[in-house]
Amino acid sequence: MATIRTITLTTRERHALEAGRDHDARPYVRERCSGLLKIADGHAPHWVARQGLLKPRDPDTVYHWLDVYEQDGLAGLEAHRQGGPRRRSL
């Protein structure tokens, strides 16, 4: 049986994610913060991807957010823009 991946936040980390969710000007940062807070509250990343956000996401996307946050913290979530290699600068 697979274990559900989760994240444990310190009070400071939780407050930073809540501030990002509630006040960041960038929608992608607000969405990522919201998803990570739901994971920290006990929801499975797969559930967050499919039902816990305003629009469904690929579960691999949410797992990637979790990987980035665990490695680089909130700064990593802010720095890694969505779109991958197909994003073009105009």
**Domains: count for the chain:** 1
Exposure string for 49-79, b = 16+ CB within 10 A, e = fewer: beebbeeebeeebbbbbbebbeeeebeebbe
Which of 50, 51, 47, 81 has its CA nearest to residue 65? 81
**70 part of a folded domain:** yes
**35 part of a folded domain:** yes
Per the CB < 8 A criterion, the answer to whether 66 and 45 are in contact is: yes
Each residue's pLDDT tens digit, 3-55: 889 999 999 999 999 999 999 999 999 999 999 999 999 999 999 999 999 99
79 φ/ψ angles, rounded to the nearest 5 degrees: -80, -35
**46 part of a folded domain:** yes
Q: Check whether 85 has a pLDDT greater than 80.
A: no
How many residues in the chain?
90
**36 part of a folded domain:** yes
pLDDT at 90 (0 to 100): 47
